[in-house]
Amino acid sequence: MTPRLSRRRFLRLALSGLGTAAALCGGGPAYAFLVEPGWLALRRVRVGLPGLPPHLDGFRVAFLSDLHRGDSVPLSHIARAVDLAGETQADLILLGGDYITGSAAFISSCAEELGRLYAPAGVYGCLGNHDHWTDPEIVAGELAERGVRVLRNEGLEVAPGLWLAAVDDVWERQADLDAALAKAPVGAKVVLLAHEPDFADVVAADGRVALQLSGHSHGGQACLPLLGPPVLPYLARRYPAGLYRVGPMQLYVTRGVGVVTPPVRFNCRPEVAVLTLACET
Ligand SMILES: [Fe+2]
């Protein structure tokens, strides 16, 4: 191990220890409100996919979701998440929806930051329930102006043999899986963006998708030791966070970048995920 890695590891352990110590010493609320919501993690996940073509082995996808730019999530936090995603030098960057909270006025500055994202295979996103609860046309339009294409019940080839599709929001009953997959070539590996993770049961039963990427849950924002998250939103209760096998497909659910009210995180750090696709027999 190099000295640089050792120092990095030491700092990580020290910060982790400080967070735990603060929580244990009665600073829990301050930690949950002031420290952890801004403490972004880079989560690296290997996703084994049976039948993945050899040329896609090692293909990397950076995945950010639930930025929730608004009164509780400053633009500087979005900027740090964008920087972190950029550092991964991923082949493809995907966004899982819920870009804003409360007002479509927040999308302009948020989209400007997201416009800094670059990946050789492109930057794409889907919409979430909060985008629909503000103004989905404005959200999608502002993102498109900054080079982030929002897919709503449609798909396209992003690399040879790799098809990206996205459904519109499930909670708002806008998702049309058949439309999203209509043009997917037989035999292509399909990655599906769907904001709400519990939609995976429907997708797995369909059988055409290899990997679904979702957010929405925020991992619960607070995870109690041994008990897990006491509160999870509608359509994120079966699959709250992490990598799952659901029938024939894989599902990755990110803890997300931002927060919603109450704007706390505890034992559930915000994250930028980078998924590495791997051939699996
Ligand atoms: Fe959501």
3-state secondary structure 179-197: HHHCCCCCCCEEEEECCCH
Identify the CA nearest to 256 among candidates 242, 244, 245: 242
* Tokens read off for 163: 């098809």
Q: Ligand 1 centroid vs 21 CA: distance in angstroms?
A: 31
- pLDDT above 80: residue 12: no
> Which sign, positive or negative, has the C-alpha torsion 125, 195, 92, 74?
positive
Q: Where are the domains of the chain?
A: 1-39, 42-280
pLDDT of residue 281: 75
Q: Ligand 1 centroid vs 252 CA: distance in angstroms?
A: 15
Q: What is the distance between the terminal CA atoms of the chain, rounded to a whole angstrom?
A: 32
Angle between helices 107-114 and 75-87 (to 10 degrees): 20
pLDDT range class, residue 26, cuts 50, 70, 90? low
Q: Summarize pLDDT for 160-175 with one digit per residue, the tens.
A: 999 999 999 999 999 9
Q: Ligand 1 centroid vs 229 CA: distance in angstroms?
A: 16
Unique residue bearing structure tokens 């041994």 = 226
Q: Ligand 1 centroid vs 215 CA: distance in angstroms?
A: 7
Percent of the chain with pLDDT strictly greater than 70: 91
Q: Ligand 1 centroid vs 78 CA: distance in angstroms?
A: 17
> Which pairs with CB-CB distance under 8 Å and at least 24 residues apart come from 87-90?
87/42, 88/42, 88/60, 88/62, 88/272, 88/274, 89/60, 90/60, 90/61, 90/62, 90/119, 90/274
* Tokens read off for 29: 């609320």
Q: Summarize pLDDT for 51-61 with one digit per residue, the tens.
A: 999 999 999 99
Euclidean distance between CA atoms 228 and 151, whole angstroms: 33
Q: Ligand 1 centroid vs 233 CA: distance in angstroms?
A: 8
- pLDDT above 50: residue 186: yes
Q: Summarize pLDDT for 195-241 with one digit per residue, the tens.
A: 999 999 999 999 999 999 999 999 999 999 999 999 999 999 999 99
Identify the CA nearest to 177 among candidates 144, 200, 143: 200
pLDDT range class, residue 264, cuts 50, 70, 90? very high
pLDDT of residue 55: 97
Mean pLDDT of the chain: 93
DSSP annotation of 20 reads: H
Q: Ligand 1 centroid vs 66 CA: distance in angstroms?
A: 7
How far from the centroid of its chain's Cα atoms is residue 265's Cα? 16
Q: Summarize pLDDT for 56-99 with one digit per residue, the tens.
A: 999 999 999 999 999 999 999 999 999 999 999 999 999 999 99
Q: Ligand 1 centroid vs 24 CA: distance in angstroms?
A: 31
Q: Identify the CATH homologous superfamily for domain 42-280.
A: Metallo-dependent phosphatases (3.60.21.10)
Q: Ligand 1 centroid vs 54 CA: distance in angstroms?
A: 35
> Which sign, positive or negative, has the C-alpha torsion 166, 125, 248, 59?
positive
What is the C-alpha radius of gyration for the chain, rounded to an integer number of angstroms? 18
pTM, to two decimals: 0.91
